[in-house]
Amino acid sequence: NTDGIHLQNSQNVVIYSTNLACGDDCVSIQTGCSNIFVHNVNCGPGHGISIGGLGRDNTKACVKNVTVRDITMQDTMTGLRIKTW
């Protein structure tokens, strides 16, 4: 896995003013995350910013209060995506 930043079961996280170039998600936000703030990030190349995959094997998955703003995407497969099963 070549995610730039991978969050799981994390609260009150600020990702601010950084450059992320990787082969996978620049930022990956998984189940159990809340109060996540991603601001002023240069992302790419890679897949972009992802929330999930959520609900694999019909499990309960919770992510809440995520703010993403002022992001520059360059050569990314997607911008922002929510991945579910």
**Catalytic sites, residue numbers:** 24, 47
57 secondary structure, DSSP code? G
Distance, in Å, from the CA atom of 59 to the CA atom of 55, rounded to the nearest integer, reads 5
Whole-angstrom Cα distance, residue 10 to residue 51?
Answer: 13
> Cα–chain-centroid distance for residue 79?
10
